[in-house]
Protein backbone atom coordinates (compact mmCIF):
# COMPACT_ATOMS: atom_id res chain seq x y z
CA UNK A 1 0.00 0.00 0.00
CA UNK A 2 2.86 2.36 0.77
CA UNK A 3 4.49 1.54 -2.58
CA UNK A 4 1.26 2.55 -4.40
CA UNK A 5 1.15 6.00 -2.72
CA UNK A 6 4.79 6.72 -3.56
CA UNK A 7 4.26 6.04 -7.32
CA UNK A 8 1.24 8.35 -7.40
CA UNK A 9 2.83 11.28 -5.50
CA UNK A 10 6.03 11.58 -7.62
CA UNK A 11 4.33 12.38 -10.99
CA UNK A 12 2.07 14.90 -9.32
CA UNK A 13 4.99 16.75 -7.82
CA UNK A 14 6.78 16.95 -11.20
CA UNK A 15 3.68 18.30 -12.95
CA UNK A 16 3.28 20.95 -10.25
CA UNK A 17 6.88 22.12 -10.65
CA UNK A 18 6.50 22.51 -14.47
CA UNK A 19 3.22 24.38 -14.11
CA UNK A 20 4.77 26.73 -11.58
CA UNK A 21 7.64 27.58 -13.93
CA UNK A 22 5.26 28.40 -16.81
CA UNK A 23 3.00 30.59 -14.65
CA UNK A 24 6.02 32.47 -13.27
CA UNK A 25 7.31 33.18 -16.88
CA UNK A 26 3.97 34.47 -18.09
CA UNK A 27 3.57 36.66 -14.96
CA UNK A 28 7.04 38.19 -15.48
CA UNK A 29 6.50 38.76 -19.37
CA UNK A 30 2.84 39.66 -19.85
CA UNK A 31 3.15 40.91 -23.59
CA UNK A 32 5.50 38.27 -24.83
CA UNK A 33 2.94 35.67 -25.69
CA UNK A 34 0.47 38.12 -27.16
CA UNK A 35 3.18 40.02 -29.10
CA UNK A 36 4.62 36.87 -30.44
CA UNK A 37 1.22 35.57 -31.45
CA UNK A 38 0.12 38.87 -33.05
CA UNK A 39 3.41 39.34 -34.73
CA UNK A 40 3.28 35.89 -36.21
CA UNK A 41 -0.28 36.35 -37.35
CA UNK A 42 0.55 39.73 -38.78
CA UNK A 43 3.61 38.41 -40.55
CA UNK A 44 1.61 35.49 -41.92
CA UNK A 45 -1.08 37.80 -43.16
CA UNK A 46 1.51 40.06 -44.75
CA UNK A 47 3.15 37.11 -46.40
CA UNK A 48 -0.17 35.82 -47.65
CA UNK A 49 -1.17 39.29 -48.77
CA UNK A 50 2.17 39.86 -50.50
CA UNK A 51 2.02 36.46 -52.10
CA UNK A 52 -1.51 37.04 -53.29
CA UNK A 53 -0.69 40.53 -54.47
CA UNK A 54 2.44 39.43 -56.23
CA UNK A 55 0.70 36.53 -57.94
CA UNK A 56 -2.21 38.76 -58.93
CA UNK A 57 0.11 41.47 -60.22
CA UNK A 58 2.22 39.01 -62.16
CA UNK A 59 -0.91 37.36 -63.55
CA UNK A 60 -2.32 40.71 -64.61
CA UNK A 61 0.97 41.80 -66.09
CA UNK A 62 1.29 38.42 -67.78
CA UNK A 63 -2.16 38.72 -69.31
CA UNK A 64 -1.46 42.23 -70.56
CA UNK A 65 1.87 41.11 -71.93
CA UNK A 66 0.29 38.14 -73.66
CA UNK A 67 -2.32 40.34 -75.29
CA UNK A 68 0.40 42.61 -76.55
CA UNK A 69 2.58 39.76 -77.72
CA UNK A 70 -0.34 38.03 -79.45
CA UNK A 71 -0.89 41.02 -81.72
CA UNK A 72 2.64 42.31 -82.21
CA UNK A 73 5.55 41.02 -84.25
CA UNK A 74 8.89 42.59 -83.34
CA UNK A 75 11.08 43.16 -86.39
CA UNK A 76 14.30 45.16 -86.45
CA UNK A 77 15.25 47.37 -89.38
CA UNK A 78 17.94 44.90 -90.40
CA UNK A 79 15.49 42.01 -90.26
CA UNK A 80 12.94 44.04 -92.23
CA UNK A 81 15.52 44.83 -94.91
CA UNK A 82 16.49 41.18 -95.12
CA UNK A 83 12.90 39.91 -95.29
CA UNK A 84 10.48 39.99 -98.20
CA UNK A 85 8.09 42.29 -96.38
CA UNK A 86 7.22 45.46 -98.28
CA UNK A 87 5.65 48.39 -96.46
CA UNK A 88 3.18 50.68 -98.21
CA UNK A 89 1.01 53.64 -97.25
CA UNK A 90 -2.72 53.01 -97.12
CA UNK A 91 -4.64 54.96 -99.72
CA UNK A 92 -7.79 54.84 -101.81
CA UNK A 93 -8.07 53.66 -105.38
CA UNK A 94 -10.19 52.29 -108.18
CA UNK A 95 -11.63 48.85 -107.45
CA UNK A 96 -12.58 46.90 -110.52
CA UNK A 97 -15.92 45.15 -110.31
CA UNK A 98 -15.83 41.71 -111.83
CA UNK A 99 -17.51 38.34 -111.80
CA UNK A 100 -15.97 34.91 -112.24
CA UNK A 101 -17.61 32.50 -114.68
CA UNK A 102 -16.81 28.92 -115.68
CA UNK A 103 -15.68 27.95 -119.15
CA UNK A 104 -13.63 25.54 -121.21
CA UNK A 105 -11.16 25.64 -124.09
CA UNK A 106 -12.38 24.62 -127.54
CA UNK A 107 -10.92 24.50 -131.02
CA UNK A 108 -11.21 27.56 -133.19
CA UNK A 109 -13.77 26.33 -135.73
CA UNK A 110 -12.36 28.71 -138.33
CA UNK A 111 -9.01 26.87 -138.20
CA UNK A 112 -10.23 23.26 -138.30
CA UNK A 113 -10.41 21.12 -141.44
CA UNK A 114 -11.87 17.68 -142.10
CA UNK A 115 -9.69 15.97 -144.68
CA UNK A 116 -12.09 14.09 -146.94
CA UNK A 117 -11.11 12.43 -150.24
CA UNK A 118 -12.94 13.86 -153.23
CA UNK A 119 -13.09 10.38 -154.74
CA UNK A 120 -13.70 7.12 -152.91
CA UNK A 121 -10.83 4.64 -153.04
CA UNK A 122 -8.66 2.12 -151.26
CA UNK A 123 -5.97 3.38 -148.89
CA UNK A 124 -2.53 2.30 -150.11
CA UNK A 125 -0.32 4.31 -147.76
CA UNK A 126 -0.67 6.52 -144.67
CA UNK A 127 1.99 9.16 -144.05
CA UNK A 128 0.58 11.17 -141.13
CA UNK A 129 -0.66 10.17 -137.68
CA UNK A 130 -2.32 11.83 -134.69
CA UNK A 131 -0.05 14.47 -133.19
CA UNK A 132 1.95 15.05 -136.37
CA UNK A 133 2.31 18.59 -137.69
CA UNK A 134 1.52 19.14 -141.36
CA UNK A 135 1.97 21.96 -143.81
CA UNK A 136 -0.64 23.15 -146.25
CA UNK A 137 -0.60 20.93 -149.35
CA UNK A 138 1.50 18.19 -147.75
CA UNK A 139 0.62 14.60 -148.71
CA UNK A 140 -1.06 12.76 -145.82
CA UNK A 141 -2.11 9.50 -147.51
CA UNK A 142 -2.15 7.75 -150.89
CA UNK A 143 -5.38 6.25 -152.28
CA UNK A 144 -6.17 4.20 -155.35
CA UNK A 145 -9.45 5.37 -156.88
CA UNK A 146 -11.31 3.91 -159.84
CA UNK A 147 -13.44 7.05 -160.11
CA UNK A 148 -10.33 9.17 -160.37
CA UNK A 149 -8.83 6.85 -162.95
CA UNK A 150 -11.95 7.17 -165.10
CA UNK A 151 -11.88 10.92 -164.80
CA UNK A 152 -8.24 11.15 -165.82
CA UNK A 153 -8.79 8.78 -168.73
CA UNK A 154 -11.70 10.88 -169.96
CA UNK A 155 -9.57 13.99 -169.73
CA UNK A 156 -6.78 12.45 -171.79
CA UNK A 157 -9.29 11.19 -174.38
CA UNK A 158 -10.97 14.56 -174.76
CA UNK A 159 -7.58 16.17 -175.02
CA UNK A 160 -6.74 13.92 -177.95
CA UNK A 161 -10.09 14.56 -179.66
CA UNK A 162 -9.61 18.30 -179.21
CA UNK A 163 -6.23 18.18 -180.88
CA UNK A 164 -7.63 16.16 -183.76
CA UNK A 165 -10.57 18.55 -184.20
CA UNK A 166 -8.19 21.52 -184.31
CA UNK A 167 -6.04 19.83 -186.98
CA UNK A 168 -9.11 19.01 -189.12
CA UNK A 169 -10.38 22.57 -188.91
CA UNK A 170 -7.00 23.97 -189.97
CA UNK A 171 -7.03 21.71 -193.03
CA UNK A 172 -10.65 22.60 -193.78
CA UNK A 173 -9.82 26.32 -193.68
CA UNK A 174 -7.26 25.86 -196.45
CA UNK A 175 -9.62 23.80 -198.57
CA UNK A 176 -12.50 26.18 -198.00
CA UNK A 177 -10.32 29.12 -199.02
CA UNK A 178 -9.57 27.39 -202.31
CA UNK A 179 -13.31 26.63 -202.65
CA UNK A 180 -12.56 22.90 -202.67
CA UNK A 181 -14.71 22.33 -199.54
CA UNK A 182 -18.29 23.37 -199.35
CA UNK A 183 -19.58 25.77 -196.75
CA UNK A 184 -21.70 23.11 -195.12
CA UNK A 185 -18.77 20.74 -194.62
CA UNK A 186 -16.60 23.56 -193.29
CA UNK A 187 -19.32 24.46 -190.79
CA UNK A 188 -19.43 20.83 -189.62
CA UNK A 189 -15.68 20.94 -188.94
CA UNK A 190 -16.14 24.07 -186.86
CA UNK A 191 -18.97 22.45 -184.92
CA UNK A 192 -16.83 19.38 -184.20
CA UNK A 193 -14.05 21.56 -182.79
CA UNK A 194 -16.48 23.41 -180.54
CA UNK A 195 -17.90 20.14 -179.20
CA UNK A 196 -14.36 18.81 -178.55
CA UNK A 197 -13.52 21.97 -176.64
CA UNK A 198 -16.67 21.59 -174.52
CA UNK A 199 -15.91 17.96 -173.72
CA UNK A 200 -12.30 18.77 -172.86
CA UNK A 201 -13.31 21.58 -170.51
CA UNK A 202 -15.89 19.34 -168.80
CA UNK A 203 -13.30 16.61 -168.24
CA UNK A 204 -10.85 19.16 -166.80
CA UNK A 205 -13.47 20.57 -164.42
CA UNK A 206 -14.31 17.09 -163.22
CA UNK A 207 -10.67 16.49 -162.30
CA UNK A 208 -10.61 19.76 -160.39
CA UNK A 209 -13.74 18.64 -158.56
CA UNK A 210 -11.95 15.41 -157.62
CA UNK A 211 -9.12 17.43 -156.07
CA UNK A 212 -6.58 17.27 -158.88
CA UNK A 213 -4.56 20.47 -159.10
CA UNK A 214 -3.67 22.31 -162.30
CA UNK A 215 -0.07 21.21 -161.94
CA UNK A 216 -1.10 17.57 -161.61
CA UNK A 217 -3.34 17.85 -164.66
CA UNK A 218 -0.42 19.21 -166.68
CA UNK A 219 1.66 16.19 -165.64
CA UNK A 220 -1.04 13.63 -166.61
CA UNK A 221 0.28 12.73 -170.09
CA UNK A 222 3.66 11.84 -168.55
CA UNK A 223 2.02 9.76 -165.79
CA UNK A 224 -0.56 7.82 -167.75
CA UNK A 225 0.30 4.67 -165.80
CA UNK A 226 -0.67 6.30 -162.48
CA UNK A 227 -4.20 7.36 -163.32
CA UNK A 228 -5.74 5.71 -160.24
CA UNK A 229 -3.30 7.28 -157.72
CA UNK A 230 -4.92 9.91 -155.53
CA UNK A 231 -2.85 12.02 -153.15
CA UNK A 232 -4.74 13.15 -150.05
CA UNK A 233 -3.25 16.51 -149.08
CA UNK A 234 -3.59 18.77 -146.04
CA UNK A 235 -5.90 21.72 -146.72
CA UNK A 236 -4.19 23.89 -144.08
CA UNK A 237 -1.16 23.94 -141.80
CA UNK A 238 -1.79 22.49 -138.37
CA UNK A 239 -1.74 19.36 -136.23
CA UNK A 240 -3.43 16.03 -136.91
CA UNK A 241 -5.94 15.56 -134.07
CA UNK A 242 -7.94 12.65 -135.56
CA UNK A 243 -7.17 9.81 -137.99
CA UNK A 244 -9.75 7.46 -139.50
CA UNK A 245 -7.89 5.56 -142.20
CA UNK A 246 -5.66 2.48 -142.44
CA UNK A 247 -3.95 0.72 -145.37
CA UNK A 248 -6.35 -1.50 -147.31
CA UNK A 249 -9.45 0.30 -146.08
CA UNK A 250 -12.06 1.57 -148.51
CA UNK A 251 -12.26 5.24 -147.75
CA UNK A 252 -15.10 7.52 -148.69
CA UNK A 253 -15.57 9.70 -145.56
CA UNK A 254 -13.33 11.66 -143.17
CA UNK A 255 -9.76 10.45 -143.25
CA UNK A 256 -8.16 13.04 -140.95
CA UNK A 257 -8.97 16.12 -138.90
CA UNK A 258 -6.39 18.87 -138.89
CA UNK A 259 -6.51 21.86 -136.55
CA UNK A 260 -4.39 24.95 -136.20
CA UNK A 261 -3.76 24.93 -132.44
CA UNK A 262 -1.91 28.25 -132.44
CA UNK A 263 -5.30 29.92 -131.94
CA UNK A 264 -8.03 28.52 -129.68
CA UNK A 265 -11.19 29.78 -128.06
CA UNK A 266 -12.66 29.83 -124.57
CA UNK A 267 -16.39 29.23 -124.33
CA UNK A 268 -17.72 30.96 -121.20
CA UNK A 269 -21.00 30.13 -119.50
CA UNK A 270 -22.94 33.31 -118.63
CA UNK A 271 -25.77 32.64 -116.20
CA UNK A 272 -29.06 34.46 -116.68
CA UNK A 273 -28.52 36.57 -113.53
CA UNK A 274 -25.25 37.92 -114.96
CA UNK A 275 -26.27 38.53 -118.57
CA UNK A 276 -26.99 42.22 -117.99
CA UNK A 277 -23.38 42.77 -116.87
CA UNK A 278 -21.66 40.98 -119.77
CA UNK A 279 -21.18 42.80 -123.07
CA UNK A 280 -19.18 42.53 -126.26
CA UNK A 281 -15.67 43.97 -126.02
CA UNK A 282 -15.30 43.51 -122.24
CA UNK A 283 -11.89 42.48 -120.91
CA UNK A 284 -11.59 38.93 -119.58
CA UNK A 285 -8.87 37.25 -117.53
CA UNK A 286 -8.75 33.54 -118.37
CA UNK A 287 -7.07 31.15 -115.92
CA UNK A 288 -6.73 27.37 -115.69
CA UNK A 289 -6.63 25.65 -112.31
CA UNK A 290 -3.40 23.79 -111.67
CA UNK A 291 -1.73 25.40 -114.68
CA UNK A 292 0.56 28.40 -114.66
CA UNK A 293 -1.34 29.95 -117.51
CA UNK A 294 -3.19 33.25 -117.73
CA UNK A 295 -4.34 35.27 -120.69
CA UNK A 296 -6.16 38.53 -121.27
CA UNK A 297 -8.73 38.70 -124.05
CA UNK A 298 -11.96 40.44 -124.98
CA UNK A 299 -15.41 39.00 -125.54
CA UNK A 300 -15.92 38.62 -129.28
CA UNK A 301 -19.29 36.86 -129.31
CA UNK A 302 -22.37 36.43 -127.09
CA UNK A 303 -25.09 33.99 -128.11
CA UNK A 304 -28.40 35.71 -128.80
CA UNK A 305 -30.40 32.88 -127.20
CA UNK A 306 -30.08 30.91 -123.97
CA UNK A 307 -29.45 27.20 -123.77
CA UNK A 308 -32.74 25.38 -123.16
CA UNK A 309 -31.23 23.06 -120.54
CA UNK A 310 -28.91 25.35 -118.57
CA UNK A 311 -30.69 28.66 -119.17
CA UNK A 312 -27.29 30.23 -119.72
CA UNK A 313 -25.77 32.13 -122.61
CA UNK A 314 -22.52 31.39 -124.38
CA UNK A 315 -19.79 34.02 -124.54
CA UNK A 316 -16.60 33.48 -126.50
CA UNK A 317 -13.06 34.85 -126.42
CA UNK A 318 -10.17 34.09 -128.78
CA UNK A 319 -6.83 33.16 -127.21
CA UNK A 320 -3.36 33.02 -128.79
CA UNK A 321 -1.78 29.62 -128.21
CA UNK A 322 1.64 29.60 -129.84
CA UNK A 323 3.16 27.59 -126.96
CA UNK A 324 0.23 25.10 -126.95
CA UNK A 325 -0.43 25.55 -123.22
CA UNK A 326 -4.18 25.94 -123.74
CA UNK A 327 -5.47 22.48 -124.62
CA UNK A 328 -8.99 22.03 -126.01
CA UNK A 329 -11.24 20.41 -123.41
CA UNK A 330 -9.48 22.13 -120.50
CA UNK A 331 -11.71 23.75 -117.85
CA UNK A 332 -10.96 27.42 -117.12
CA UNK A 333 -12.32 30.30 -115.09
CA UNK A 334 -12.99 33.65 -116.71
CA UNK A 335 -13.01 36.85 -114.70
CA UNK A 336 -15.07 39.46 -116.51
CA UNK A 337 -14.56 43.10 -115.56
CA UNK A 338 -17.80 45.05 -115.83
CA UNK A 339 -17.02 48.32 -114.01
CA UNK A 340 -14.83 50.33 -111.61
CA UNK A 341 -15.62 52.16 -108.37
CA UNK A 342 -13.61 54.47 -106.10
CA UNK A 343 -12.99 53.19 -102.56
CA UNK A 344 -11.53 54.94 -99.48
CA UNK A 345 -8.85 52.33 -98.64
CA UNK A 346 -7.64 49.76 -101.14
CA UNK A 347 -4.95 47.18 -100.33
CA UNK A 348 -3.48 44.17 -102.15
CA UNK A 349 -5.47 41.03 -101.46
CA UNK A 350 -2.39 39.31 -99.97
CA UNK A 351 -2.09 42.04 -97.35
CA UNK A 352 -5.22 40.74 -95.61
CA UNK A 353 -4.66 37.57 -93.58
CA UNK A 354 -6.94 35.38 -91.48
CA UNK A 355 -6.01 35.15 -87.79
CA UNK A 356 -8.29 33.49 -85.25
CA UNK A 357 -11.10 33.60 -87.84
CA UNK A 358 -10.70 37.36 -88.23
CA UNK A 359 -9.36 39.43 -91.11
CA UNK A 360 -6.24 41.34 -90.04
CA UNK A 361 -3.77 43.74 -91.63
CA UNK A 362 -0.24 44.07 -90.26
CA UNK A 363 0.19 47.78 -89.46
CA UNK A 364 3.69 49.15 -88.89
CA UNK A 365 4.07 50.24 -85.25
CA UNK A 366 7.24 50.91 -83.30
CA UNK A 367 9.77 48.13 -83.76
CA UNK A 368 7.48 45.84 -85.74
CA UNK A 369 3.95 45.22 -86.92
CA UNK A 370 0.61 44.95 -85.15
CA UNK A 371 -1.97 42.46 -86.42
CA UNK A 372 -4.96 44.78 -86.49
CA UNK A 373 -8.48 43.43 -87.12
CA UNK A 374 -10.17 45.00 -90.15
CA UNK A 375 -13.51 44.82 -91.89
CA UNK A 376 -13.19 44.12 -95.60
CA UNK A 377 -15.68 44.86 -98.35
CA UNK A 378 -15.66 44.18 -102.05
CA UNK A 379 -12.69 42.59 -103.76
CA UNK A 380 -11.20 41.97 -107.17
CA UNK A 381 -8.66 39.45 -108.38
CA UNK A 382 -5.79 41.55 -106.97
CA UNK A 383 -7.14 44.04 -104.39
CA UNK A 384 -9.65 44.27 -101.57
CA UNK A 385 -11.50 47.19 -99.99
CA UNK A 386 -10.89 47.87 -96.28
CA UNK A 387 -14.06 49.34 -94.78
CA UNK A 388 -12.69 49.94 -91.26
CA UNK A 389 -9.62 49.16 -89.16
CA UNK A 390 -7.07 50.81 -91.46
CA UNK A 391 -6.96 54.54 -92.10
CA UNK A 392 -5.42 56.38 -95.07
CA UNK A 393 -1.75 57.33 -94.61
CA UNK A 394 -1.12 54.44 -92.19
CA UNK A 395 1.77 52.21 -93.13
CA UNK A 396 1.12 48.49 -93.45
CA UNK A 397 2.70 45.30 -94.83
CA UNK A 398 1.53 45.25 -98.45
CA UNK A 399 3.67 42.23 -99.31
CA UNK A 400 4.95 39.42 -97.10
CA UNK A 401 2.07 39.58 -94.60
CA UNK A 402 1.87 35.81 -94.63
CA UNK A 403 5.43 35.62 -93.26
CA UNK A 404 4.49 37.96 -90.42
CA UNK A 405 1.48 35.80 -89.64
CA UNK A 406 3.72 32.71 -89.57
CA UNK A 407 6.11 34.41 -87.14
CA UNK A 408 3.17 35.46 -84.97
CA UNK A 409 1.72 31.95 -84.82
CA UNK A 410 5.14 30.44 -84.18
CA UNK A 411 5.75 32.85 -81.28
CA UNK A 412 2.35 32.06 -79.77
CA UNK A 413 3.06 28.33 -79.86
CA UNK A 414 6.47 28.81 -78.25
CA UNK A 415 4.92 30.96 -75.51
CA UNK A 416 2.33 28.27 -74.70
CA UNK A 417 5.05 25.67 -74.27
Q: Which residues are CB-contacts of 399 (< 8 A; sequence separation ≥ 6)?
A: 84, 85, 86, 88, 348, 350, 351
Q: For domain 114-259, which CATH number applies: 2.40.50.140, 3.40.30.10, 3.30.428.10, 2.40.50.100?
A: 2.40.50.100
Whether 12 shows a pLDDT value over 80: the answer reads no
Count Cβ atoms below 10 Å from residue 196 Cβ, excluding itself: 21
Q: What angle do CA 286, 288, 290 make, to 5 degrees?
A: 155
Per-residue pLDDT of 65-113, as tens digits, reads 333 446 787 766 666 666 678 889 999 998 888 889 999 999 999 999 9
99-109+260-340 falls under which CATH superfamily?
A: Efflux pump adaptor protein, beta barrel domain (2.40.30.170)
All structural domains of the chain with their residue ranges: 73-94+342-416, 99-109+260-340, 114-259
Over its C-alpha atoms, the chain yields an Rg (Å, rounded) of: 51
Handedness of CA 116, 117, 122, 126 (dihedral sign): negative
CA distance linking residue 12 with residue 314, whole number of Å: 119
CA distance linking residue 109 with residue 107, whole number of Å: 6
> Can 73-94+342-416 and 114-259 be said to share one CATH topology?
no
User: Tell me, what's the pLDDT at 20?
Assistant: 59
Q: For domain 73-94+342-416, which CATH number applies: 3.40.50.150, 2.40.420.20, 3.40.120.10, 1.20.58.220?
A: 2.40.420.20
Mean per-residue pLDDT for 291-299?
87
The reported pTM is 0.59
Handedness of CA 182, 187, 190, 192 (dihedral sign): negative
User: Tell me, what's the pLDDT at 15?
Assistant: 59
User: Tell me, what's the pLDDT at 366?
Assistant: 79
Per-residue pLDDT of 241-254, as tens digits, reads 999 999 998 887 88
Q: How far is CA 205 from CA 151, 202, 209, 412, in A?
A: 10, 5, 6, 87
> Does residue 238 contact residue 109 with C-beta atoms inside 8 Å?
no
Helix (H/G/I), strand (E/B), else coil: 129: coil
Count Cβ atoms below 10 Å from residue 151 Cβ, excluding itself: 22
Per-residue pLDDT of 383-399, as tens digits, reads 899 999 999 999 999 98
Whether 38 shows a pLDDT value over 80: the answer reads no
Q: What angle do CA 316, 318, 324 make, to 5 degrees?
A: 125
CA distance linking residue 286 with residue 53, whole number of Å: 65
Whether 46 shows a pLDDT value over 80: the answer reads no
Q: What angle do CA 228, 230, 234 make, to 5 degrees?
A: 180
What average pLDDT is seen over the chain? 81
Which segment of 12-16, 158-162, 213-217, 356-360 scores lowest on mean pLDDT?
12-16
CA distance linking residue 68 with residue 408, whole number of Å: 11
Q: Which residues are CB-contacts of 384 (< 8 A; sequence separation ≥ 6)?
A: 346, 347, 348, 349, 351, 352, 376, 377, 378
Per-residue pLDDT of 143-162, as tens digits, reads 988 888 888 889 989 989 99
Per-residue pLDDT of 332-383, as tens digits, reads 999 898 888 889 999 999 999 998 889 999 998 878 888 999 999 988 778 8
User: Tell me, what's the pLDDT at 331?
Assistant: 94
Amino acid sequence: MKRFHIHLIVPCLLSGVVLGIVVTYVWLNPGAAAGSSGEGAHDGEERRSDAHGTEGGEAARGQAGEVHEEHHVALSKEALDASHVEVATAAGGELEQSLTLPGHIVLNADNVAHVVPRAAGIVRRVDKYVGDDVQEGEVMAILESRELAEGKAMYLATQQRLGLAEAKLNSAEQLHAKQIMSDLEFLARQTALTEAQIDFKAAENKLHALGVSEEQITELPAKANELAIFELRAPLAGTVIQKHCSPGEVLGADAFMVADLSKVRANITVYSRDIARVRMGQKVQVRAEGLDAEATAVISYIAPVLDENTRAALARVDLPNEDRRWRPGMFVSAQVEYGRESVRVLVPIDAVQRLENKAVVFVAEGDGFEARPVVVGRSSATHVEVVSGLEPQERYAAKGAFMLKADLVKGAVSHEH
